Amino acid sequence: MKTVTIYTDGACSGNPGPGGWGAILQYGKLQKEFSGGEAHTTNNRMELTGVITALEALNEPCVVELYSDSKYVIDALEKGWAKGWKARGWVKADKKPALNPDLWERLLALCEYHTVHLHWVKGHADNEFNNRCDELAVMESQKFKKETEPTADGRDFPALVRVSDRIWYLPGEDFTGRDRPFLYYVKGEKKSLAVDAGNSPAHVRAFYAALEAAGLPRPHITLLTHWHWDHTFGLTAVEGVTMTSAATNEKLGQVAQWKWNDAAMKKRLNTGEDIQACDDCIRREYADPGDIRVTTAAVSLHGDVEIDLGGVTCRVMLRDSPHSRDGLFIHIPEEKALAVGDGESGDYYELGGAYDQNRLTELLAFLEGLEYDVALGGHQAPWSKADQLAELRGFLTGE
C-alpha cells in the first residue's frame, strides 16, 4: 500500500461560532492543501472534519501517518474511546451523550479502510505543516465572521448575549484568533460588576461599547479571575474599582517588569516564562507589542468575600485550579451561576494544556459542593453544570 502523510487542524472563533479546518496531504514529492469551514460550528467538529476530508480524498487503501494537535481526535482514536462510544450507542461511560456521532461514524469507517498511524503534535509550535494547517483553518473561519458595529476607535465588537435576568456576556475568541476571553457582566440594583479585564485596552473599549449599545452602565467593579495576559492586559483601560487575589497581583507585579520587544519575547519562549500560543495571539492583538502596559488591580484579596450589588450577591472565592495556581471563582446564587474564568481548563504553562489529576480532583470536589446551574467559562459560551462536571470527570477517567 502507498504511504501518505496527512496534517490537519481546526479552528473556531467563539466555540461555537464561525469555524474552519485545514489539511495537507503529502505523497512523495506531491503535496496538496484542503480547507473549508462553517458559519456556526465547534472547534472539535472542525478538527474532525479536517481529518475526515483528507482521508476521504484518498482513492485507495493507504498507510496514513496522521498528524494533529487535537487531543480530542488523537486520544479518542488511539485509546479506543470513540469505538466505546459507538458500541454503547454513542453514549459515554458517564451515561452522557457522546458529541459529534455523525462525524465519528465516518472517521471510524475510514480508519477501518486505511491503516492509520496517529501522531499528536503541539499546536502553535515549530511544526511548519501544522502551523500552515492552522493558517488555512483561521482564514476559512474568518470568511464566516458576522459584520458588527464599529467602536469609536474603528474596531469591531460583537453584541452582548443575555444569560439570565442579571447576567450578560461579550463573546470571546480562542487561540486561533486574538485569544479574547468571554467577558461577563452582572447588574445589580445598586452596582454592576464585570468578570475579567480582557486582553487589551481595545478589548475593554469593545466591551464598553457593547454595554452602551445594550443600554447598560459601565461596571462599578471589575474582578480578575487569574493573572494570564488575556484576562488582565486590558486593566489600564478599566474604569471603577479593580479587584483580584493577592496571588494574582503578585504575579502581575512580576509581569509588569517584562519588556515587550521581539528579543525579550523570544527569550521568554526559550525560558518557558511564556508559551507560543500566547505569543502568537499577543502579536495578533497588538500591532506593536511595545504598547503593552501591565498593571495590578487596586484591591488585593487575601480570602473569600461577598459583594452585594443590590438584589444580587457575588461570592468571591479564591481557589487553586488545574489552570493556574491563583484561581478566583465567582458564585452568583440568585442567578444560579458560577463564573470560573479558565479554572476548569488544563495547565498550558506547565503541562501543555493537560490536567494535573490531583488539582482536577480538588476542583471537582469544590464544584460539586456549590449550587449552580450555569457555568460561565473563560473561552466558551455558558454551559450547564451537569455537562461541565461530566467533561471534567471524563478527563479523570480518560473517557
3-state SS track over 303-371: CCEEEECCCCEEEEEEECCCCCCCEEEEEEHHHCEEEEECCCCCECCCCCCECCHHHHHHHHHHHHCCC
Is residue 176 pLDDT above 80, yes or no?
no
- More confident call, 151 vs 115: 115
Please report the DSSP string for 200-245 in residue order: SHHHHHHHHHHHHHTT-PPPSEEE-S---HHHHTTGGG--SEEEEE
* Single-letter code of the amino acid located at 155: R
C-alpha cell of 230? Answer: 488575556
Read off the pLDDT of residues 23-37 as tens digits, 9 standing for 90 and up. 999 999 999 999 999
pLDDT at 126: 78
The helices-and-strands tally (H runs, E runs) of the chain is 12, 20
| Residue 115 to residue 129: CA distance in whole angstroms | 21
How large is the angle between the packed helices 101-113 and 43-56, nearest 10 degrees?
30
Are the CB atoms for 204 and 181 separated by under 8 Å? no
Residues forming the active site: 9-10, 47, 69, 124, 134
Say whether pTM exceeds 0.75.
no
Is residue 154 pLDDT above 50, yes or no?
no
Range name among 16-20, 132-136, 223-227, 245-249 with the lowest pLDDT average: 16-20
DSSP-based three-state secondary structure for 174: coil
| Helix (H) or strand (E) run with residue 137 in it | helix 128-142
Are the CB atoms for 346 and 322 separated by under 8 Å? yes
pLDDT at 138: 86
C-alpha cell of 262? Answer: 521581539
Please report the DSSP string for 101-120 in residue order: HHHHHHHHHHHHHSEEEEEE
Burial class (CB in 10 A: 0-12, 13-18, 19+), 23: buried
Burial class (CB in 10 A: 0-12, 13-18, 19+), 165: exposed
Read off the pLDDT of residues 223-260 as tens digits, 9 standing for 90 and up. 999 999 999 999 999 999 999 999 999 999 999 999 99
Q: How large is the average pLDDT for residues 119-132?
A: 86
Please give the share of the chain, as a percent, with pLDDT higher than 70.
96
| Residue 44 to residue 9: CA distance in whole angstroms | 10
| Residue 275 to residue 346: CA distance in whole angstroms | 14
195 closest CA partner among 182, 210, 209: 182
DSSP-based three-state secondary structure for 70: coil
Read off the pLDDT of residues 33-55 as tens digits, 9 standing for 90 and up. 999 998 888 889 999 999 999 99
43 closest CA partner among 323, 283, 379: 379
Q: How large is the average pLDDT for residues 177-182?
A: 90
Residue 36 to residues 11, 97, 138, 341: CA-CA distances in angstroms? 11, 27, 10, 31
Q: How confident is the model at residue 156 (pLDDT cuts 50, 70, 90)?
A: low
Dihedral sign (CA 213, 216, 222, 223): negative
Average pLDDT, the chain: 91
Please give the share of the chain, as a percent, with pLDDT higher than 90.
80
